[in-house]
Amino acid sequence: MLDIKRLINEKEEMIASLNLRNPEFGAEIEEIISTYEEYTAKLNAMETAKSELNKKSKLIGQYKKEGKDTTELFAEIDSLKAATDKTAVEALRESYTSRLMRVPNFLQADTPIGNDDEDNVEVKRWGVKPEFDFEPKQHFEVEPAKDLDFDRAAKIAKSRFVITRGFVARLERAITNYMLDTHTERGYEEVGVPFIASQDSLLASGQLPKFENDLFKIAQNGGDDDEFENERNFYLIPTAEVVLANLHRDEIIDGSSLPLNYTAYSQCFRKEAGSAGRDTRGLIRMHQFGKVELFKYTNPETSNAELDKMVEDAEKILQDFGLHYRIVRLCSGDVGFGASKTFDLEVWFPSQDKFREVSSCSNVWDFQARRGKIRFRDEDGKVSHPHMLNGSGMATGRILAAILENFQNADGTVDVPEALLPYLGR
């Protein structure tokens, strides 16, 4: 969530930044500020009325003791009581905060200007494209793909789910374990996370209310023995970022411990609303997939440097696997809702003759920290919001697909990257 005071003090600059995402945000910001100012005026009036009410109430005993007529005094007290009613104030607060929750993050000043992924800026390329003396197959057409069972998964759940078996299941587990081991060796603490999260957690991390249609909501049946009966809504997590962003919710962190670096594996669940007809075959766009997440809580002064480190940590996986990739800086029209700066890592897919995203690393500034009421105390005792960073370290299904394609042989078999051989007992 944005800092409303900064929004007011730097209004023109902030509106210009938000308009790079969508020109409609200018009018929305003006209305939010107007509602906030009305809220603060009514709040101040209510606090003044409370103070006056306390003074007047103390006079009742004195008036009675002195035999004075209290009729006018009680009339004033009744009027002041009405002025201390919180209903209008709370309604205004809810109005501006709920609308502010729907406004995306500011973009960093050096963000490339553009409309979509076609305008993203390449900043690095590593490795070389694999060469084949045959027509490369898609990852779901190579010989090991017999262990990808989409039909039975659709029968059990629905389309865009998969059952992995045999060699492919072991390979995916090897990829996952290698990534977790590598990230923990590079200074991340491994965290085991729940795969469901509350509505409050989704709000704090920024998935709600913006991405409601992409989430799988858990139905609550109620009942006397249902411990969830009186709870708010729950959802399957779309990423472990949701959990890691809430790890220190409502807490004040010791600033000397920053940066805090976490990594977690989870299954991720997404409806992929609006993606009809895109990547309907294979592992690229699934309703459920595994992913290793990277997450940092940092000092604001070092957050962009920590973002660069996170990108390097993600790169390490691709380099270890020998996959040809590039890094792009996302343009203004492609940066995600909560992010202020984002780099995507894209791996070469020979059958498609193009790069496909396998990781996205973002600095969200204090956007999530404000939503989750997360703060840190520095050495001088000052309390402020940390910057929070998230990244894919990486999506296992897409890495699996990239390995199946890039290391295929003419006979349909697939070589395994050397780094993974010990994880397969070879």
Catalytic positions, written as ranges: 270, 285, 357, 360, 398
Q: Which of 189, 178, 177 is nearest to 319 (CA)?
A: 178
Q: How many CB atoms lie within 10 A of CB 91?
A: 12
Which residue(s) pair with 363 in the sheet? 341, 389
Tokens of 53: 């009410």
Distance CA(189)–CA(171), nearest Å, equals 24
List the structure tokens of 196.
């469901």
Contact 393, 268 (CB under 8 A): no
Quote the tokens at residue 412.
């349909």
Give the C-alpha separation, 351 to 206, whole Å.
Answer: 35
Total residues belonging to the chain: 426
Angstrom distance (rounded) from CA 104 to CA 332: 12
278: three-class secondary structure by DSSP: coil
In whole angstroms, how far apart are CA 182 and each of 177, 305, 359? 8, 20, 16
| Spatial contact of 11 and 29, defined as CB atoms under 8 Å apart | yes
Please report, as a single letter, which amino acid is at residue 238: P
Tokens of 46: 């209510």
Please state, in angstroms and rounded to a whole number, the distance separating the CA atoms of residues 318 and 414.
17
